[in-house]
Each structure stands twice: as C-alpha cells, then as structure tokens.
C-alpha cells in the first residue's frame, strides 16, 4: 500500500517536471521573441538612436576644503588649473590638429605625441589630456579657435595653492595621486584611480573632511562635440575646511628663527594643549609633490643631510639632554631624596664604580642646591640624585608626564620616544640594568629619547603644574560657508599627581635659568614678559669637546624648553636644533623669538612695524653680555 | 562521507554548461569594464578568481551527501533569520540599503544565504509532509509563515529583488509539490488586497518609481526609466550580428548603469547581437532543463525537491534579469547568474550547483 502510494507519487512528480519543462521553454521563447522584436524588427530605430546618442559624461572634481590657522587665515586653498584634452573619436586629422596646437599654443610636438600614445587600449570616447596646467591665455586662444580644433576640450580642475611663505609644510602635508594600495583599502571605496588624496600631515589625517564629493554633468553634444545642452548634473560638494590651532604669525616667526639650521619647534597652549606652532626645518615645497616631482629636486631632497622631508617635530627622537633634569628633579622631590636646600658639592666630575662622570663645567659648580643645579645645569648634582633614585623611579615620574609613548597628536607616524627602565633593558637586550647607566639617564642622555612634541608637552605640564593635555592641531571643522560643523575640545590625558609646591620649586629654578646671572638660558629672555626655561645640549657622539671644527653630523644637538609668562603661564615652547651646538644659545634664542611673536600677537595695538627690530635689539643686548651667555665659574654662583 | 567513486560520477553536462556561461561572462565583463578607469586588479581578473573560488566551493559541496542538509535545515533557517535580524540592527549600509553584515573576517549578505536556506527548508517540509494529493489552504499555513518571516525582513532592508526571488523560489517548489485548485483560487483572492496594502505601506518610493517606470518608461527619461531606455537602445542597436567585441557604443560610452553587474547582458546583446543572445539563451535553457532532469532522475523526494528549488533559483534570476534588461520587467537589481560581475552572486549560484552535483552524482546510490 505504502509502496504503491510512493510509486504513484513519483510518477506524478515526474509528469509535473515534464509540464514545468514546457513552461520554462515557453518563457525562454518569449524572451527570445522579445529580443527578436528589439534586435531584428526594430534594430534600425535603435541603431539610429544609439548613433545620435551623443551624450558625454564630464566629471567635475570637487574643490578640496581649505586649511586655515586659528584666526581663519588661509594657509592652503585651491586655484583652478586648466588642461587641454582631446576626445580621440572626434580627431579625424591628428597631424593637422597637432600642427595647429603647437603653432597656436607653442606646445611641444613630441610631448603631444607622447601623451597621445596613451589612447591605445582605451575607449575612444574618453578625453585624453595632452597638456596639463595651461595658462589662462592659452585657454582663451583655444576658445577663440574652437571651430578649427575639433575634439579639443578644456578641463578645469582645482589644484592646491599654498600660502606664499611655505608655512608649516610638514604639518600641512601635501596631496598626490591615490596609490593602488590606498585604492584597495577600506574607506577608500568611493575613490577612483587618478583622484588626489592627502599623502601626509593634516592633508592625510583629515582627508575625509577635506575631500568633498565629485560631481558630474551629462551633456548632449552634436557630431562635432559641441555641447547642445546639459541633461543632468550632479554638483560636486566642496570639502569641509579645517581650522587649525596654529597661530600663523607665531609659526612664521618660528620658521624664520631657524634660518638654515635643521631642527624642530613646537609651541603649545599651556591650558589646553592646542598646538600654536609646529615647525620642522629645513622645509620643502608641497606644491612640487602634487605633480610629477622633477627627479633632480627629489634627489636634492634625498641628498640633503639635514633631511628636509622628515617631520622632525613628530618623528625626530632626540636625547633630551639637560632639559630632562626637570623630570629627575621632580622625581627627587617626589621621592623625598631632595628638598630645596639639599646641596651637593660639584667638583667638576663624579666617580662611581671606577668610572668618572664629568660635569660640563670641568671647574665644578661648588656647593649646589636645587635652584642652582637647574640654573647652571650642574651635571654632578643630577648624577648623585639619579644614583640615589635609581632608573625606575625616574621613569615612574617621566611616565606621569605621559612620556615614552605617542601623545596622539593626530598625525600618522608619531614616534613614542623612549623612557628606559630596568625591565625594558632586560627585555630589549637581555641584560640587567647597571647602576652606572642611571647617571647618564638622569641628565637626559643614555637611552632616553624624546620627540619635540613630548618636550613641549613636558614643559607645558610643568607650567600648568601637573595637567597633561593631548596636544591637538585642529580647532574646528567648518563647511564651505564657514559654518562650524565640529568643535574640538581640550582633552586631559593624564595628571602627574605631583603637588604644586614641588612644581614651584622647580619653576623657580627654571626662572633663574633665564633671568638670573649664571643662568644658561638668557637668550630666551624677554624685556616685558617673565620667561622660564631650561637649556639642553645633547651629545650625538662622545667627543672630548664639541667645537665648530667638529663635522656637522657629530655636533651636539641644541635644545631649549620654555614657558611664559612665569606667573600665569600661557605658552610652552620646545626647540631642538640638530647639531646646533650649545642649547642655551642657539635653541634659547629661537625659543625667545617664538615667545616674542606670541606676545606681540596678543598686543595688536603695539604691533607697529618697528617692533620686530626692537625685539632683535633686545636679543642682541642680552647676547652681548658674555656673563649671561656662558655660565660662569663656581665663584659667581655660590651666593644663591 | 567522501567517496572516491563519487568523483567518477561528476555530472559533466552540468559542469560544462556552467563553465561555458562563466567564460562568456568573463569575456563580457572585460568589454563592459573597458571604459572604466584602470584599477589595481581588473574586474574580469577578479571575476576569474571568483569563478575559481566558486568551483572549489561547488566541488566541496558535491562531495557531501545532501541528505545531511535535511537534518540541519531548521537550524540553518534559524541561524539565517537571526543574521537577517542582526543586519537590521547592526548592518553595514551601502547605497541606501543595509544588506551586509560584518562577521569580522568577511562580510556576508544574509539575504543571499536565505535563497539557499529557503530551498532546504521547503524541501524538508514537503518531504516530511504525509498527505496525499494537493495541498489545502490549511496545509499551506506553516510554509507560508516560514516564507513570510524572511521575505518581510529582506524587504525591510530594503532589497526588493531578493525578496521577490525568495518568494518565487518557494512558490515554484510549492507548485511542484502540487496544490489543490481551491487553494490556488483562495490565494489569488487573498493576494489582491495584500498587494494593495503592500503598495501603500511597504514599498519604498524608489521601488514604486521603478514599477511605475516599468509601466511607462517614458515617465522619467532621466530617472530610473532612463536605465531601461538606454538598455533597450543598447540591445536593439545590436541587431542580428552585433557591433563587435568592445565596440558597443552604448556600453563604451557608459550610458548603461552598472553595466558590468546587473546590465551585463545589455552589453553582451549590443556587441554580439541576436546570434549571441540566442547562444546564451540556449546555454541557460539547457542548464535549467538539465537541472529539472536531475530532479526527475533523483530517486528520493528530498533530493528531487532540492534540485527543483535550486533550478528554480537559477531560472528566476535569469528570467528576471533578462526581462529587466530588455524592458519587460522593472529594474529590481537581480544579477544574471554566472554572467554578471560579483562574488556574492557567483558564490550563491555555485553553492546551488554544488547541491545539484551532489544529487546528480548520487543517482545510482539507491
């Protein structure tokens, strides 16, 4: 019974499949009839429709957003760039056209032929660019001779225009054609080959905001390619603009102050972490990178031993030298190893375990307390303090300043620097930490490395007595009409937890560095604002003496960190001059000029054109007193 | 489970037809994407990789006895329903619709999985259904519920094309199983008010526009109707022998929207003419008839139902896509299996082919 039923069912379903097969065949037949109708019966109509279908799609590139300084001064904007293109399909007499083009516009015949070669293998309906970046005069000539130049089109594309003085090239970055790697990445699905994107700096980090959306126009053209009408149009959306925290005036003075020296400077708002200036020198011309970079220029950038392409403020890791004594001093105060009256007798060197550690002043500083140790940058004081603390306690204090890791400024490739610990050495080299290694660390040599951003953040944290802000570059995003879209607030990423009175003891020392006789930072002094700071001279190689005769790459780095005003700090500055020699002199002077520019900007009423000279004179005056420039023998300084 | 002898029973007819269509597809994608700007990996190369991946998957599935699908069917159904729910909550949007789900390693489109899972689920249900004769309205309540849940979830995404396909697949399998006339009449009477409600409350404006454009393509020459007109010009201007490979003006000028995916057939019709279309249609017709043949030859009910379902899936994709391209159906975004560019479509179709192979290879086993 059951088997019978099964057989019946199977037979039924097999019959059904036969019926279904016929239905399927019928439906396919209907499709075929429809194709017959379109392709055989009405093909002439459709063919003429397709031949008259002279629609063109012209992409319209979106204007990239601008980049502005904190006051709205435009640092990077766009200008239109015209290029000459031809639609190969419409070029009947290539040689004749090229003759006319070279005669009318003075274009190189060989260059035209070279570009024309790119046509092969591509659709004949797509314009090929024969000359890019042509002048407005050339555009006019083309327009006038339109009829004699069939197939020729003018394409307009916005290109980047940079503020004339090459402000902050490393910070702003440059744009270039999107790479194949980027095209395959997530988040770049909307991009096409040939599109321009930010390659580094702010241009890259804020690409999503700056880019905008490309539009396009569907045009109907006649047989000669002349536009009859616009059929549909999608408008490009201009990218949003980025308003930086940078103060262009301070930035400009900072860049100028370096002259042709290599190095970096970062200025921060002490009470928010806003980056007011971000300098890396020598600079480069970002405009060169958006086109085809001439080989010789590229080579000259590569050959320059001052490394113009490197963003030293972000990726330069330097031994902080004596600027690190601030950390060692705070570690000593925090751990009860010293107080303001603890003194050490500096005889010009210190001996530990059979090694002799020299003070920079071979005559010695004599009896030295905390304030004097900072003012005159006595090494022996910190050797002894470091010995008592041990490397891990120094590191612990440094880590409270968030050193040893990237601060997250928002640009790619920020370097972490290095704060050594015993554990780190064990991991890295498989060896235990030797006591003697702590001594160089306590004066910012040895394994210690910091970036200019970290130096600036450190001195800023000292100035505000314990708050670590994340340094940030972008104040707000605005749309093309200037309407604010996003506002960025200061972000506290750490608090040192060190009490204010301890900070004050160190700050008194830093004030003395700049303002008291015997201080190493007199070059940073201002006549109207109280400045505090600390110099640093970090050894690149161990040499007995670092003099002018030393080859460039072996000379010491000069560093200076400063903040002002002393009583109510607003701005913190860190300056590194690569192979610059003595920190207090070279870097201190640059720090002074940066501070000068900042405080000049705050008093617009007094900003007369004479002002800069006055400031220079003031600097020279200070510099003219040799007793301040070169820290003196012990006799001078004991009376502290 | 893997039996070496099985491999000697590979259904070469099935494999050959599929590969032939795939190769035509890759050739056509080369032409359709010629006017596109050069990208890192050309589309036709990528499609070739998808073909290799798809064949690997089909081969792997064919070695597995399809009967295990019956045991897992309701589990699979439950999992995919959960994924569909997840898409609505946390899915990834693209072009105004949310269809993708990021599973960490890769993105999946649960609606695509549903096409296969609805086949398995319906096959299981009808296989276990112990009743003679055509199905009554009451018999249909459970399968209707099983269909309605995913169909509504997919429509909500919104992905009308896939929802329609899932419904058509289920409907085809039901008709194959057999309905009573009274059931058919009842459903026709119920469908009319439901369709009216659906039109008023469920269809998105762009979906309504597509339907209206279909009814009257001249309605908007630049909106969605524009696509149909341009596609008809492409197909019609192809004539009897076509304009030649990479010589179609409509495609090379990029008048066609998504000409390497949904409108790939339009490019083909323009460049290869009626002759080319005839060849492609005959290949597809053979494929569908062969699928039905596999169902016919299968000696167990579950296998026959599965084969029916997979064949229905392929058939409806082909008919809807072709109908859309030549202006017989609205534009609903259904790809041509094995022919349109796209990994998702290739993998889904190849999973189906794997199941068909599994059934075909085991026809001597009973």
User: Which pLDDT does position A492 carry in this prediction?
Assistant: 94
Q: Which two tokens stand for residue A219?
A: 């045009």
CA dihedral B102, B108, B114, B115 (to 10 degrees): 160
Q: How far is A236 from chain B (nearest CA, A)?
A: 18
Banded pLDDT at A57 (limits 50, 70, 90): low
The answer to whether A35 contacts B274, with C-beta atoms less than 8 Å apart, is yes
CA dihedral A580, A584, A586, A588 (to 10 degrees): 130
Query: In the predicted model, is pLDDT for residue B304 greater than 60?
Result: yes
- Chain B residues with CB-CB distance to A49 below 8 A: 233, 236-237
**Global confidence as pTM:** 0.59
The answer to whether A24 contacts B285, with C-beta atoms less than 8 Å apart, is yes
Q: Which two tokens stand for residue A636?
A: 């001078």
- Per DSSP (E only), the strands in A412-481 are 467-469, 474-478
Looking at the fold, whether A376 and A431 belong to one and the same domain comes out as yes
Where residue A90 sits, what CATH number does that domain have?
3.90.1310.10
Query: In the predicted model, is pLDDT for residue B242 greater than 70?
Result: yes
The answer to whether B253 contacts A53, with C-beta atoms less than 8 Å apart, is yes
Q: What are B80-108's pLDDT values in tens digits?
A: 999 888 888 776 555 445 566 665 545 67
Interface A–B counts its CB contacts (< 8 A) at 125
Domain annotation covers residue A176: yes
Q: Is B107 helix (H, G, I), strand (E, B) or coil?
A: strand
Which of B233, B257, B301 to mutate to test binding with chain A, by most A CBs within 10 Å of its CB?
B233
- B2 by Cβ neighbours in 10 Å (0-12 / 13-18 / 19+) ranks as exposed
The per-residue pLDDT of chain A, averaged, comes to 83
Looking at the fold, whether A189 and A80 belong to one and the same domain comes out as yes
Looking at the fold, whether A236 and A339 belong to one and the same domain comes out as no
Q: What is the C-alpha to C-alpha distance for residues A345 and A365, in angstroms, rounded to an integer?
A: 7
Q: How far is B116 from chain A (nearest CA, A)?
A: 21
Residues whose CB falls within 8 Å of the CB of residue B4, separated by 6 or more in sequence, listed in order: none
**Is the pLDDT higher at A636 or at A4?**
A4
Residue percentage of chain A with pLDDT more than 90: 43
Q: Which two tokens stand for residue A90?
A: 């419409």
Looking at the fold, whether A86 and A212 belong to one and the same domain comes out as yes
Looking at the fold, whether A234 and A353 belong to one and the same domain comes out as no
User: Which pLDDT does position A313 carry in this prediction?
Assistant: 92
Domain annotation covers residue A1: no
Decide: A495 and A614 in contact? Cβ < 8 Å: no
Query: What is the domain range of residue A522?
Result: 248-288+305-637
Q: How far apart are the first and last CA of chain A?
A: 118
CA B160 vs CA A127, A229, B257, B332, B334: distances in Å:
38, 35, 18, 7, 9
Query: In the predicted model, is pLDDT for residue A627 greater than 90?
Result: no
Domain annotation covers residue A36: no
- Chain A residues with CB-CB distance to B105 below 8 A: none
Q: What are A578-605's pLDDT values in tens digits?
A: 988 887 788 999 999 999 999 998 876 4
Q: In this predicted structure, which of A78-82, A378-382, A625-629, B247-251 has the lowest mean pLDDT?
A: A625-629
Decide: A85 and A142 in contact? Cβ < 8 Å: no
The answer to whether B274 contacts A25, with C-beta atoms less than 8 Å apart, is no
Q: What is the C-alpha to C-alpha distance for residues A526 and A373, in angstroms, rounded to an integer?
A: 23
Q: Is A505 helix (H, G, I), strand (E, B) or coil?
A: helix
Decide: A452 and A576 in contact? Cβ < 8 Å: yes
Q: Which two tokens stand for residue B173?
A: 């399998």
Q: Which two tokens stand for residue A76?
A: 């990077």
- CA-wise closest residue to A338 among A437, A446, A442: A442
Looking at the fold, whether A332 and A205 belong to one and the same domain comes out as no
Query: In the predicted model, is pLDDT for residue B213 greater than 90?
Result: no
Banded pLDDT at A539 (limits 50, 70, 90): confident
Q: Which of A244, A263, A279 is the last residue of a domain?
A: A244
Domain annotation covers residue A20: no
Q: What is the C-alpha to C-alpha distance for residues A594 and A572, in angstroms, rounded to an integer?
A: 10
User: Which pLDDT does position A635 carry in this prediction?
Assistant: 34
Rounded average pLDDT over A24-46: 93
Which of A30, A38, A231 to mutate to test binding with chain B, by most B CBs within 10 Å of its CB?
A38
CA dihedral B220, B221, B223, B225 (to 10 degrees): 80
Looking at the fold, whether A186 and A64 belong to one and the same domain comes out as yes
Q: What are A356-380's pLDDT values in tens digits?
A: 888 888 888 999 999 999 999 999 9
Rounded average pLDDT over A167-192: 76
User: Which pLDDT does position B167 carry in this prediction?
Assistant: 94
| DSSP-assigned states of every residue in A567-633 | SS--EEEEEEETT-S-HHHHHHHHHHHHHHHHHHHH-GGG--TTHHHHHHHHHHHHHH-HHHHS---
Looking at the fold, whether A324 and A346 belong to one and the same domain comes out as yes
Q: Which run of H or E residues covers position A520?
A: none
- Tell whether A57 lies on the interface with B, counting CB pairs under 8 A: yes
Looking at the fold, whether A234 and A273 belong to one and the same domain comes out as no
A318-336 burial by CB neighbour count: b if 16+ within 10 A, else e? bbbbbbbbbbbbbbbbbbe
Other CB atoms closer than 10 Å to residue A214's CB: what's the count? 17
- Complex confidence, ipTM: 0.91
User: Which pLDDT does position A619 carry in this prediction?
Assistant: 39
The answer to whether B237 contacts A17, with C-beta atoms less than 8 Å apart, is no
Looking at the fold, whether A405 and A444 belong to one and the same domain comes out as yes
Looking at the fold, whether A253 and A240 belong to one and the same domain comes out as no
Number of domains composing chain A: 2
Report the chain A residue with the minimal C-alpha distance to residue B308.
A17
Where residue A371 sits, what CATH number does that domain have?
3.40.710.10
Q: What is the C-alpha to C-alpha distance for residues A343 and A381, in angstroms, rounded to an integer?
A: 8
Q: What is the C-alpha to C-alpha distance for residues A558 and A563, in angstroms, rounded to an integer?
A: 17
Residue B45 has phi, psi (to 5 degrees) of -70, -45
The number of C-alpha atoms within 13 Å of B144 and in the hemisphere containing its C-beta is 11
User: Which pLDDT does position B98 carry in this prediction?
Assistant: 58
Domain annotation covers residue A35: no
Looking at the fold, whether A96 and A209 belong to one and the same domain comes out as yes
Q: Which run of H or E residues covers position A357?
A: strand A355-358
Q: What are A244-302's pLDDT values in tens digits?
A: 999 999 999 999 999 889 999 999 999 999 999 999 988 888 878 766 677 788 788 88
User: Which pLDDT does position A638 carry in this prediction?
Assistant: 30
Decide: B255 and A55 in contact? Cβ < 8 Å: yes
Domain annotation covers residue A10: no
Domain annotation covers residue A378: yes
Decide: B73 and B120 in contact? Cβ < 8 Å: yes
User: Which pLDDT does position B193 carry in this prediction?
Assistant: 87
Q: What are B172-208's pLDDT values in tens digits?
A: 999 998 888 888 898 889 888 888 888 887 777 766 7
């Amino acid at each position: 019974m059951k088997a019978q039923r099964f057989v019946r069912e199977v037979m039924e379903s097999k019959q059904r499949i036969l019926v279904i097969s016929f239905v399927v065949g019928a439906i396919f037949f209907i499709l075929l009839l429809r194709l017959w109708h379109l392709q055989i019966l009405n093909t002439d109509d459709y063919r003429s429709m397709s031949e008259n279908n002279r629609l063109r799609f012209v992409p319209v590139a979106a204007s990239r957003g601008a980049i502005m300084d904190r006051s709205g001064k435009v640092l990077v904007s766009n200008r239109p760039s015209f290029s000459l293109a031809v639609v190969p399909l419409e070029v009947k007499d290539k040689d004749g056209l090229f003759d006319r083009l070279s005669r009318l516009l003075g274009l190189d015949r060989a260059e035209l032929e070279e570009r024309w070669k790119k046509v092969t293998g591509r659709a004949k309906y797509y314009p090929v660019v024969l000359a890019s970046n042509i002048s407005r005069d050339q555009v006019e000539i083309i327009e006038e001779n339109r009829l004699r130049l069939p197939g020729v089109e003018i394409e307009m594309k916005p290109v980047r225009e940079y503020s004339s003085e090459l402000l902050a090239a490393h910070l702003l970055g440059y744009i270039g054609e999107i790479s194949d790697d980027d095209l395959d990445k997530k988040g770049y699905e909307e991009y096409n080959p040939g599109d321009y994107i930010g390659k580094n700096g702010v241009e890259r980090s804020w690409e999503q905001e700056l880019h905008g959306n490309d539009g396009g126009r569907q045009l109907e053209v006649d047989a000669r390619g002349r536009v009859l009408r616009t059929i549909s149009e999608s408008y490009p959306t201009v990218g949003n603009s980025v308003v930086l925290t940078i103060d262009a005036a301070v930035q400009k003075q900072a860049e100028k102050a370096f002259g042709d020296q290599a190095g970096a400077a970062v200025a921060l708002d002490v009470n928010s972490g806003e980056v007011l200036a971000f300098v890396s020198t020598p600079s480069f011309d970002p405009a060169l990178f958006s086109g085809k970079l001439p080989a010789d220029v590229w080579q000259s950038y590569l050959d320059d031993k001052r490394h113009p392409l490197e963003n030293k403020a972000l990726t330069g890791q330097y031994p902080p030298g004596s600027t690190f004594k601030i950390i060692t001093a705070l570690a000593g105060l925090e751990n009860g190893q010293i107080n303001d009256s603890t003194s050490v007798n500096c005889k010009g060197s210190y001996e530990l375990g059979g090694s002799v550690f020299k003070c920079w002043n071979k005559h010695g500083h004599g009896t030295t307390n905390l304030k004097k140790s900072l003012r005159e940058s006595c090494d022996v004081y910190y050797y002894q303090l470091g010995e008592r603390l041990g490397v891990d306690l120094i590191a612990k204090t440094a880590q409270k300043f968030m050193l040893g890791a990237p601060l997250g400024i928002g640009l790619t490739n920020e370097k972490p620097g290095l704060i050594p610990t015993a554990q780190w050495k064990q991991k890295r080299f498989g060896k235990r930490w030797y006591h003697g290694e702590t001594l160089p660390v306590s004066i910012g040599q040895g394994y210690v490395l910091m970036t200019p951003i970290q130096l600036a953040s450190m001195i800023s944290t000292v100035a505000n007595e314990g708050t670590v802000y994340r340094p940030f570059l972008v104040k707000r995003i605005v749309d093309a009409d200037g309407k604010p879209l996003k506002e960025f607030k200061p972000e506290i990423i750490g608090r040192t937890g060190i009490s204010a009175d301890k900070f004050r003891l160190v700050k008194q020392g830093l004030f003395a560095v700049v303002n008291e006789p015997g201080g190493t930072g007199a070059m940073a002094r201002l006549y109207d604002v109280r400045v505090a700071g600390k110099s640093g001279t970090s050894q690149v190689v161990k040499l007995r003496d670092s003099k002018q005769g030393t080859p460039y790459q072996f000379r010491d780095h000069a560093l200076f960190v400063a903040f002002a005003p002393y009583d109510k700090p607003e701005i913190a500055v860190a300056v590194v001059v690569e192979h610059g020699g003595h920190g207090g002199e070279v870097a201190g002077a640059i720090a002074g000029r940066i501070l000068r520019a900042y405080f000049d900007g705050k008093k617009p009423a007094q900003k007369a054109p004479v002002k800069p000279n006055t400031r220079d004179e003031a600097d020279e005056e200070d510099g003219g007193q040799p007793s301040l420039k070169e820290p003196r023998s012990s006799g001078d300084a004991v009376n502290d | 489970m893997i039996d070496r002898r099985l491999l000697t029973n590979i259904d070469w007819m099935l494999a050959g037809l599929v590969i032939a269509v795939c190769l035509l597809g890759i050739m056509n994608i080369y032409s359709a994407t010629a006017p596109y700007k050069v990208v890192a990996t050309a589309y036709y190369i990528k499609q070739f990789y998808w073909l290799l991946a798809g064949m690997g998957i089909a081969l792997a599935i064919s070695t597995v006895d399809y009967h295990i699908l019956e045991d897992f069917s309701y589990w699979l159904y439950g999992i995919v329903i959960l994924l569909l729910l997840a898409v609505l909550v946390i899915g990834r949007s693209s072009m105004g619709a949310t269809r993708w789900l990021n599973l960490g390693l890769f993105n999946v489109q649960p609606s695509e999985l549903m096409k296969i899972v609805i086949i398995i689920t319906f096959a299981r249900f009808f296989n276990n259904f112990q009743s003679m004769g055509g199905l009554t309205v009451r018999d249909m309540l459970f399968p209707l519920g099983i269909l309605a849940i995913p169909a509504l979830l997919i429509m909500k995404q919104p992905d009308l094309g896939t929802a329609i396909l899932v419904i058509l697949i289920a409907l085809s399998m039901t008709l194959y199983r057999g309905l009573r006339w009274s059931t058919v009449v009842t459903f026709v009477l119920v469908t009319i008010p439901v369709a009216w409600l659906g039109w008023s409350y469920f269809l998105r404006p762009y979906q309504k526009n597509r339907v209206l454009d279909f009814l009257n393509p001249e309605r908007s020459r630049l909106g969605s109707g524009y696509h149909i007109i341009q596609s008809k010009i492409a197909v019609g201007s192809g004539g009897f022998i076509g304009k030649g490979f990479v010589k179609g003006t409509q495609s090379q000028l990029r008048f066609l929207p998504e000409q390497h995916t949904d409108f790939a057939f339009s490019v083909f019709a323009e460049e290869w003419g009626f002759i080319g279309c005839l060849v492609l249609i005959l290949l597809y017709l053979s494929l569908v008839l062969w699928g039905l043949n596999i169902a016919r030859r299968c000696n167990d009910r579950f296998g026959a139902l599965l084969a029916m379902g997979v064949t229905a899936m392929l058939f409806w994709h082909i008919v809807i896509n072709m109908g859309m391209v030549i202006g017989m159906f609205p534009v609903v975004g259904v790809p041509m299996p094995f022919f349109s560019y796209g990994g998702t479509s290739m993998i889904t179709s190849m999973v189906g082919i794997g199941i068909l192979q599994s059934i075909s290879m085991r026809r001597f086993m009973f």
